[in-house]
Amino acid sequence: MKYFFYVALFCLIGFSSYKGLELYKLQKEQTLLKEDWAEIHKINYGLFNVELWKDKALVIFDKKIKDFKIDPKMYKDVNKQLVTYLNQMYTQYFSSGKLVDDFLAQAEKKGTLNKVFIKMIKGSVKDLIKDFDLRSKIPSIADELTSEIKANEHVFKGYLTKELNAMLFDASAAEYKDPREPMLLKYQQEELTSLSNELTVRIESNDVKITNTIKWIYGLLILTLLFSSLLFRSIGLKSLVVAFTLVAIVMLLLGISLPMIDIDARLNSFEFSILGSQIDFDEQVLFYQSKSITDVTSTLINSRGIDMKIVGGLVFLFSIVFPFFKLTLSSMYLFVEKIRTSKIANTVIFILGKWSMADVFVVAIFMAYIGFYGITSAQLNDIAADQGNYSVETINYSKLSPGALFFTSYCVLSIITSMIIDRIKKNNVDQIT
């Protein structure tokens, strides 16, 4: 029976470990995909992007220029000004004879006309101009000029648009280069929209795979625990502890390597009105981070402050090293006489085990999650509530990740395993088969 039990046990644990490795790879890929998605949707490239503001301002002002129409009353004023100006021109150059005098003087100077001929026609030309009665034609000329100006409104609009472009986009300034271009090369996409869609599809697909893999792992591990518990009278409590310990190790490995908390705060939409036009910004990421216990430990140890390094070392010791050491030593305690009689081993298993940081760490995780979630939600709600001439929709996607689930399960199973070992110790281990 024991031989069959151990073969089945190691098959179940082996397949669970295989699925655990598959889950680790999927989760690692998922974290990278989410980080890249968050990177291309950061608020730096939306609400806080000056170049984007220029583009949106250009669209608004360009629309205003295209919709711009000169008031008909203004054309009446233009017509009056033209009539006044043309009358002044007529008085100054035509009725006074100055235009004829200037023209004949130029012709005489250049020698194009004979001086005698000039003297003969000089008076006649002035009389002819007066008889022509050009002054009566000034209103009709002013009307034609006004109509011509009105017909060329689009030219003025073109000049305005050109000047607006020159004002917003300085030709002498260096061309703006989007920092997200390497992302397009990484995923072989040509546009950010297509890249965003690609990442979204892959993230959703991975979510389904991760969920199914977690179900497989938990199903296999629970099956192992039930299988061992049902056969414990035949295999003995020692074998039961071995089974529980192997399951706990798998859960611990997954618990420390998978992300524990995802902090994800976003502005789902941001809208406000300017010059009668609506400016919209799509979903933008305010903050995103996903960390496992090993990630947090590495970050703390690699930080500059000595106090942070000490905390990182303690987290590594009590939440990673000590749990593994305790689980291994607990199993060996049942099979190795020297360990059962060792004061050090007994101290580690039955005394120091109570000081393990694992349980405390789980509580800390939940408290941190509640704290982060509460603070993030409060801040986002404040942003959404503090509305002037704009509309804001905020979303808090922060959540506990698979690592928290497995680490919590490990803690519960570790407590149960310790209780079984305590029972074995009290009932004299040598008599239990």
Inform me whether the pLDDT recorded for 161 exceeds 50.
yes
Q: Which of 121, 153, 187 is the last residue of a domain?
A: 187
**402 and 346 inside one domain:** yes
Dump pLDDT digits (tens) for 398-408: 787 898 889 88
- Domain residue limits at 292: 231-433
Residue 88: the pLDDT is 76
Inform me whether the pLDDT recorded for 430 exceeds 50.
no
**119 and 262 inside one domain:** no
**158 and 57 inside one domain:** yes
Number of domains in the chain: 2
Residue 110: the pLDDT is 64
In which band, very low, low, confident or very high, does the pLDDT at 64 lie, cut at 50, 70 and 90?
low
Is 7 among the domain residues? no
pTM: 0.67
Is 401 among the domain residues? yes
**Regarding predicted confidence, which is higher, 368 or 283?**
283
For residues 148 and 160, the answer to whether their CB atoms sit within 8 Å is no
Inform me whether the pLDDT recorded for 338 exceeds 60.
yes
**181 and 74 inside one domain:** yes
Residue 432: the pLDDT is 42
Is 211 among the domain residues? no
Inform me whether the pLDDT recorded for 274 exceeds 50.
yes
**119 and 255 inside one domain:** no
Is 357 among the domain residues? yes
Is 197 among the domain residues? no
Q: What would the DSSP string read from start to end of 192-257?
A: HHHHHHHHHHHHHHHHHHHHHHHHHHHHHHHHHHHHHHHTHHHHHHHHHHHHHHHHHHHHHHHHHH
**251 and 338 inside one domain:** yes
Inform me whether the pLDDT recorded for 411 exceeds 50.
yes
Inform me whether the pLDDT recorded for 431 exceeds 50.
no
**106 and 183 inside one domain:** yes
The secondary structure of residue 174, as a DSSP letter, is P
> Which of the residue ranges 13-22, 200-209, 315-324 would you say has the lowest mean pLDDT?
315-324
Inform me whether the pLDDT recorded for 23 exceeds 90.
yes
User: Can you tell me the distance from the alpha carbon of 269 to that of 284, in angstroms, rounded to the nearest whole number?
Assistant: 8
**244 and 183 inside one domain:** no
Torsion of CA 15, 20, 21, 22, to 10 degrees: 90
**54 and 154 inside one domain:** yes
Is 199 among the domain residues? no
Mean pLDDT, residues 347-360 = 59
**251 and 324 inside one domain:** yes
Inform me whether the pLDDT recorded for 239 exceeds 80.
yes
Inform me whether the pLDDT recorded for 159 exceeds 50.
yes
Is 213 among the domain residues? no
Residue 74: the pLDDT is 72
Is 103 among the domain residues? yes
**248 and 375 inside one domain:** yes
Q: Which of 152, 169, 187 is the last residue of a domain?
A: 187
**177 and 238 inside one domain:** no
Residue 408: the pLDDT is 84
Inform me whether the pLDDT recorded for 376 exceeds 90.
no
Kind plus residue range of the DSSP H or E element containing 63: helix 50-67
**Regarding predicted confidence, which is higher, 351 or 375?**
351
Q: Which of 171, 187, 203 is the last residue of a domain?
A: 187
